[in-house]
Amino acid sequence: MRRTAIAIHGGAGTLLKAEMSPTKEKAYLAALEVALKAGHEVLKNDGTSLDAVEIAVRSMEDSPLFNAGKGSVFTADGTHEMDASIMNGKGRSAGAVCGITGVKNPIHLARKVMEETEHVMLAGRGAEEFARGIGMDFMPPEYFHDALRHAQWMSVRGTDTIALDHDIDPEKKLGTVGAVAIDINGNLAAATSTGGMTNKKFGRIGDSPIIGSGTYANNATCAVSCTGSGEFFIRGVVAYEVSALMEFKGLSLKEACETVIKDRLIQIGGDGGLIAVDRSGNLCLIFNTAGMYRGQVNSSGEMSLGIYGEESAKA
């Protein structure tokens, strides 16, 4: 019998238990659990990995806790510009959007780009026009206004500092969200969504919407979703590199992820992490930062959630 598995992340960074209040920790674990269960439910009912990763990511986009959708960080202009991508391991089809404003669920729009256009990536106003044309939900700026994100932005506004939200927030709030899954038919999928970096300008785009950097899926190898300092993930072509090490060098999922995150990425100065699943349903959740919001249901059906270092809190 084939087994399913799913993993999610809510961003990686300098997450330390000493700096997290019990109330906040509980809120994050609860939000991760809701997203994970939503995705797992799809797989349990023999749904597709694509649906599972989209639903899990949508759940986190709808939470103000994560830097994606509703909780997106502020740009230098005081707006929200979101990026997202999704990839189907079967046939390696993919869709992505970048620099979009007002769209409630960027990951859904990325999926529509994949399924309803002949393109892979749509940007800014054009992507929004496409979204309007297919009747996607838009929300007013107030929907994306979060007091903490606003305070983060105020602390660097007018400067040239662009920052991962955890770099400027004493409470170390993150982050980009993502999901990877394998379904009952052995199909893999990956999805990633983000508000990017606080105070970003000039139309800065990170790794999250770039296929091969922030997101990748190939039924022959693995599905990967990344989080961290985007510029380094682009230069390291991180998500694809994991797949390539498996395909061309015969590494296991764990070996490939360790090589990329604990060695290759560090060599160029990048920090962050990724989640990945291979075609046998093995999962790897790995980071070179102090922590990463994360959760998984492995192929034996065991669920676990985690935030800090090595430990993993049972759900």
Interface with ligand ASP (CB under 6 A), residue from 88, 187, 194, 199: 194
Whats the size of the chain, residue-wise? Answer: 315
Closest to ligand ASP by CB, 101 vs 208, is 208
Q: Which positions are catalytic?
A: 176
Question: Rounded to the nearest whole angstrom, what is the least distance from the CB of residue 92 to ligand ASP in the complex?
Answer: 22
Binding ligand ASP (rule: CB under 6 A), the pick from 227, 243, 289, 296 is: 227
Sign (positive or negative) of CA dihedral 237, 243, 247, 252: positive
CA distance 56 to 84: 13
Region of 54-62, 141-149, 189-197, 284-292 interacting with ligand ASP (CB under 6 A): 189-197
Q: Is 236 in the site for ligand ASP (CB under 6 A)?
A: no
Residue whose C-alpha is closest to residue 289's, from 9, 8, 15: 15
How many residues of this chain bind ligand ASP (CB under 6 A)? 15
Q: Which is nearer to ligand ASP, 43 or 265 (CB)?
A: 265
Binding string, 137-176, against ligand ASP, x = CB under 6 A?
---------------------------x---------xxx
What is the closest distance, in whole angstroms, from the C-beta atom of residue 186 to ligand ASP in the complex?
Answer: 29
Q: Does 81 bind ligand ASP (CB under 6 A)?
A: no
| Shortest CB 140 distance to ligand ASP, Å | 23
d(CA 244, CA 87): 16
Binding track, positions 9-48, relative to ligand ASP; x by CB under 6 A: --x-------------------------------------
Rank residues 43 and 84 by Cβ distance to ligand ASP and give the closer one.
84
**Cα dihedral across residues 13, 18, 21, 26: positive or negative:** positive
Q: Which of 6/275 has CB closer to ligand ASP?
A: 275
By CB under 6 A, is residue 208 in contact with ligand ASP?
yes
Smallest distance from ligand ASP to CB 309, Å: 18
Cis omega (within 30 of 0) on the bond before 175?
yes
Site string for ligand ASP, 119-138 (x = CB under 6 A): --------------------
Shortest reach from residue 14's CB to ligand ASP, in Å: 12
User: Is 291 among the residues that bind ligand ASP (CB under 6 A)?
Assistant: no
Residues that bind ligand ASP (CB under 6 A): 11, 67, 164, 174-176, 194, 196-197, 206-208, 227-228, 230
